[in-house]
């Protein structure tokens, strides 16, 4: 390996500590790993887990960032199927043990022993270079930019993967609760998959955007009875809950039709009450969804490339990470903040 040079990274040195921009030696990959020259990395609300030590087993200092896109720079030993210069994304899924019961079933995202998470259990992409397991890599299509690819391997794969595994069929009613970082992608995916798509958010001012993203119907949950309106439309097969507001989920659940599911992507700030009597009567239920594997991310980007789904982004340089993080936390960015390194 060449003599180590320096790179800039964003890190938090201790639990609840401030974000710091520091210099580190550029790392070399170990066996089974690759080094990625990062071109862009999205700022996700889940980065707060790193800063505030809300995820078990975090060691510090830690570099956040699980929406990374870049180019393979160096291959470690025993890496097969990849080559230097390939464009890759690295999302939430950072690797798995490969031998637990879930991994043996091929369900690597549900690894029971060593579920690696980029930016939490290992350093992430808010840096000029990062090390990633080769099985955490997702190929980026030629016509998807690094700035778009970053959010697609997190918010994108979460919404796309949830919808394609939900059991709904084209033509059925799918409602997307919330038009934010996740929801604005969820509306696009639902429409492109052929569902009758309903967007639900607060305020009449969001209707034009919802329709532009592909929604067939817009509901304002600040003035309308969402459950009643969904029932008028025949009842939702899926309500994709991308918000973190438990009350909004509770308000909407009455709009589920027969075999309908409230599919939760956003971690609610308090417990969600569910109407069990209605659920029994309609065979409806509530389920949560985890993002997916690197192959899920790759398929998400492939679908996005040919269907035209793209995130709405605002870019920041690495030196303005704090500004980007604050904009994300304050919901003043539409809809995904992305750090562009300029590589």
pLDDT at 237: 98
Residue 343: the pLDDT is: 64
User: What domains are defined for the chain?
Assistant: 6-157+292-340 (3.90.180.10), 166-288 (3.40.50.720)
Per-residue model confidence as pLDDT tens for the chain (343 residues) = 444 589 999 999 999 999 999 999 999 999 999 999 999 999 999 999 999 999 988 999 999 999 999 999 999 999 999 999 999 999 999 999 999 999 999 999 999 999 999 999 999 999 999 999 999 999 999 999 999 999 999 999 999 999 999 999 999 999 999 999 999 999 999 999 999 999 999 999 999 999 999 999 999 999 999 999 999 999 999 999 999 999 999 999 999 999 999 999 998 889 999 999 999 999 999 999 999 999 999 999 999 999 999 999 999 999 999 999 999 999 999 899 999 986 6
**Per-residue pLDDT, 265:** 96
Residue 2: per-residue pLDDT: 46
Q: What's the confidence (pLDDT) of residue 269?
A: 84
Q: Looking at residue 4, what is its pLDDT?
A: 58
Secondary structure string (H, E, C) spanning the chain: CCCCCEEEEEEECCCCCCEEEEEEECCCCCCCEEEEEEEEEEECCCHHHHHCCCCCCCCCCECCCCCEEEEEEEECCCCCCCCCCCEEEECCEEECCCCCHHHHCCCHHHCCCCCEEECCCECCCCECEEEEEHHHEEECCCCCCHHHHHHHHHHHHHHHHHHHCCCCCCCCEEEEECCCCCHHHHHHHHHHCCCEEEEEECCHHHHHHHHHHCCCEEEECCCCCHHHHHHHCCCEEEEEECCCCHHHHHHHHHHEEEEEEEEECCCCCCCCCCCHHHHHHHCCEEEECCCCCHHHHHHHHHHHHHHCCCCCEEEECHHHHHHHHHHHHCCCCCCEEEEECCC
Predicted pLDDT at 201: 97
pTM: predicted TM-score of the whole model, two decimal places: 0.95
């Amino acid at each position: 390996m060449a003599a180590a040079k320096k790179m800039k990274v964003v890190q938090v040195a201790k639990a609840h500590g401030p974000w710091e921009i520091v210099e580190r030696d550029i790392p070399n990959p170990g066996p089974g790993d690759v080094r990625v020259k990062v071109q862009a990395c999205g700022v996700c609300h889940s980065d707060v887990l790193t800063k505030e030590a809300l995820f078990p087993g975090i060691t510090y200092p830690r570099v956040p960032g699980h929406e990374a896109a870049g180019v393979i720079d160096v291959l470690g030993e025993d890496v097969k199927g990849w080559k230097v210069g390939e464009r890759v994304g690295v999302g939430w899924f950072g690797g798995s043990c490969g031998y637990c019961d879930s991994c043996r079933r091929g369900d690597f995202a549900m690894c029971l022993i060593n579920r690696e998470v980029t930016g939490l259990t290992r350093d992430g992409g808010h840096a000029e270079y990062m090390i990633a397991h080769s099985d955490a890599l997702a190929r980026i299509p030629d016509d998807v930019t690094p700035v778009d690819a970053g959010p697609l391997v997190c918010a994108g794969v979460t919404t796309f993967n949830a919808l394609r595994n939900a059991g709904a069929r084209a033509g059925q009613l799918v409602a997307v609760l919330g038009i934010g970082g996740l929801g604005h992608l969820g509306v696009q995916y639902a429409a492109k998959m052929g569902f009758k798509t309903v967007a639900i958010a607060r305020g009449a001012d969001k209707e034009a955007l919802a329709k532009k993203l592909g929604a067939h119907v817009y509901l304002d949950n600040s003035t309308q009875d969402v459950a009643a309106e969904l029932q008028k439309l025949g009842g939702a097969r899926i309500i994709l809950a991308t918000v973190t507001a438990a009350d909004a989920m509770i308000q909407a659940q009455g709009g589920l039709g027969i075999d309908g599911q409230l599919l939760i992507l956003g971690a609610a700030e308090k417990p969600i009450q569910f109407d069990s009597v209605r659920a029994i009567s309609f065979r409806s239920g509530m389920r949560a969804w985890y993002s997916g594997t690197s192959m899920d991310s790759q398929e998400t980007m492939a679908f996005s490339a040919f269907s035209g789904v793209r995130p709405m982004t605002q870019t920041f340089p690495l030196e303005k990470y704090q500004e980007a993080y604050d904009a994300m936390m304050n919901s003043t960015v539409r809809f995904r903040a992305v750090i562009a390194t300029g590589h």
